[in-house]
Amino acid sequence: MKIVGISGSLSGYKTMTIVFKVLKAAKSLDPNIETELIDLKDYDVEFVNGAPLSFYNADTVKVVDTIMAADGLIIGTPIYQASISGVLKNLLDHLPVDGLMGKTVGMVATGGTDKHYLVMDYHLRSILTFLKANVAGSNVFVNDKYFDAENDIVDRNILLRFEHLAKEVLSIQQFIQQKS
Ligand SMILES: Cc1cc2nc3c(=O)[nH]c(=O)nc-3n(C[C@H](O)[C@H](O)[C@H](O)COP(=O)(O)O)c2cc1C
């Protein structure tokens, strides 16, 4: 099983950190799984213009192909203007409408205010469901105040929630793969 993490921030490192931590938790739960982290700031994903995927640059094709080949995804977004980041929405726009069918997705987000913790449920979940993903019921929002100067998180409760999310994604995906 391969679980791919997507960090949807081009600016800071908080989103990348939490996606990495959920991937790490998944790997600890099942050392046999393969994980890969795609930090979108490392890739030049072009804006969707309606052309077929093969017309875009190599980075765009690589990121989309990696998502399509994954069994499960951990998708992280910084909250921007009470929604997901534009770069993440643009990436999701590249996927075919059935692109996430059979894949389990876990959502994580970072933000400056707890008032926006439901953005994952109200904005991201609906897009992922449209793309036919099986979206885990739990998700983790991390307020900026929980990151230390090195952008690390030590709060035990948050770390436990990463582990629970990883466990949920793995068990749903294992169930799907056993059934098919
Ligand atoms: C353009 C912009 C808009 C933002 N809008 C919100 C917002 O509406 N709600 C919120 O909680 N945080 C907002 N933030 C704060 C970021 O979500 C937060 O600092 C996040 O942890 C940054 O993640 P990163 O370090 O991965 O880039 C915004 C930040 C930027 C740059």
CATH no. for residue 137? 3.40.50.360
Question: Would you say residue 127 has pLDDT above 90?
Answer: yes
- pLDDT confidence bin for 179, thresholds 50/70/90: confident
Mean pLDDT of 51-61: 98
Quote the pLDDT of residue 180: 82
Cα–Cα distance for residue pair 144/36, rounded to 1 Å: 24
User: Is residue 111 predicted with pLDDT exceeding 90?
Assistant: yes
Cα separation, 27 vs 41, in Å, equals 23
What's the number of domains the chain is made of? 1
Is 81 near ligand 1, meaning CB less than 6 Å away? yes
pLDDT band with cut points at 50, 70 and 90 for residue 157: very high
CB of residue 12 inside a 6 A radius of ligand 1: yes
Q: What is the pLDDT of residue 74?
A: 99
Report how far residue 117's alpha carbon sits from residue 137's, in angstroms, rounded to the nearest whole number. 14
What pLDDT was estimated at residue 148? 97
Distance between CA atoms of residues 143 and 114, nearest Å? 6
Residue with tokens 């203007």: 81
Can you give the residue range of the structural domain that contains 35? 2-179
- To test the pocket of ligand 1, the residue of 42, 80, 120, 140 to mutate (highest count of ligand atoms within 8 Å of its CB) is 80
Element spanning 73, H or E = strand 72-78
* Strand, coil or helix: 69: helix
Q: What percent of the chain has pLDDT over 70?
A: 100
User: Is it the case that residue 104 has pLDDT exceeding 90?
Assistant: yes
What is the mean pLDDT of the segment spanning 65-83? 98
Question: Is the pLDDT confidence value at 46 over 90?
Answer: yes
